[in-house]
Amino acid sequence: MPTGACGINCDVCKLNLLDVCSSCGSGKSAEARNKLEAQKRIFGGTCSILECACMNNLEYCLRDCNSFPCDNFSLGPYPFSQGFLSMQERRRHQKPPALTPNKVTVTVPPEYWDDLQEKDIFTLCNFTLADPNPSGGLVFRFLNEDVLVDIGNRCLKRLTDGQWEKTDDPLLELVTLVYLNNVNCLHPLGRDIVSSKDLREAHFFQGPHELKTAPLLERYGNDPDGFRKAAEHLGGKAMDMADVSYMLLPFPRVPLYYLIWRGDREFKPRISVLFDRSIEQYFPADAIWGLVNLVSLLLLKGPDEIAARIYAV
């Protein structure tokens, strides 16, 4: 599909069909370099959008650039209206709906909080490396930020301007409560790293329940540097397990391993998510699916949008 870096699909343009205008191509394509040279020769200047995409080695601005929409779009005469750009900026800061593998809105059963109230906080902190909080709850490190489990008020809180404020994140709340209610001992880490196919409930991760890695592959399959930036922003630790691989910690003792293999002439890019075997001691299969979905979404958003605190209420 001859789509330009700006997002215009030249397949549906009559100018392209008539050979009046050729596609600019993606920011990484030979077509883009040829188009820039032609623009310099004919017009004495270049399209700022295409030149920026080429300079930053990005294929498509709408998908790959965390600064979209930028001044190259908002100050230029085309290709998008101000209304479209405003919609993009607004919706990029919205939180996607939290859904189960069956596309049902995630809800947190109140009995999960009932069960947590019966737990000994100091024992939980010992098992999970969380810290007790004066409120009677506990604080754990979720990727690159601290989250307070406020047991008395039955909610999760994040720090905003130095103050703990309630956050509406049902998927994180659900997997956190599942974890805290199921952890009952310390398990050694790093001895047995497995894929979803090796877990006891491997049959779950098929069809509509397959781990949602396709969007990550679409975004980062040909952009390993972009994946590195996103993973490191989330506190990821580089590993020597694939062309690009990182260990991420949604909970201090629950590692997820994201592995990317670059494509070549014979093979397409691939992505895998691996687990420490101990994960199945804490999470049923649907909660593992939810945890991976939660972390993958943050990787997909990239560091700039994460920094915008999309989860704040």
Q: Are residues 33 and 119 in the same domain?
A: no
Q: Is-contact 63 223, C-beta < 8 A?
A: no
Q: Are residues 205 and 61 in the same domain?
A: no
Question: Which residue spans within the chain are E strands per DSSP?
Answer: 131-132, 138-142, 145-150, 155-160, 163-166, 193-195, 237-238, 244-251, 254-261, 270-276
- Rounded CA-CA distance 197/203 in Å is 8
In angstroms, how far is CA 134 from the centroid of its own chain?
Answer: 32
Q: Are residues 15 and 153 in the same domain?
A: no
Q: Is-contact 149 140, C-beta < 8 A?
A: yes
- Rounded CA-CA distance 117/111 in Å is 10
Residue ranges making up the domain that contains 35 = 10-91
**How many domains does the chain divide into?**
2
pLDDT for the residue 152: 93
- Domain for residue 101, yes or no? no
Q: Is the whole model's pTM more than 0.85, yes or no? A: no
Examine the fold and report which residue of 91, 125, 146 is the final residue of a domain before the chain moves on.
91
Using 70 as the pLDDT threshold, list the residues of the chain that sit under it.
Answer: 1, 14, 17-20, 94, 304-313
Q: Are residues 125 and 194 in the same domain?
A: yes
pLDDT for the residue 311: 36
pLDDT for the residue 75: 85
Q: Are residues 135 and 237 in the same domain?
A: yes
Q: Are residues 72 and 164 in the same domain?
A: no
Q: Are residues 144 and 235 in the same domain?
A: yes
pLDDT for the residue 1: 52
Q: Are residues 223 and 300 in the same domain?
A: yes
- Domain for residue 233, yes or no? yes
CA 142 to each of CA 26, 107, 146, 235: distance values in angstroms, whole numbers, following the listed order: 35, 20, 6, 9
- Burial 120-140, CB ≥16 within 10 A → b, else e: ebeebbebbebeebeeebbbb
- Rounded CA-CA distance 144/129 in Å is 15
Q: Are residues 126 and 235 in the same domain?
A: yes
- Domain for residue 2, yes or no? no
Q: Are residues 226 and 282 in the same domain?
A: yes
Q: Are residues 147 and 242 in the same domain?
A: yes
pLDDT for the residue 150: 96
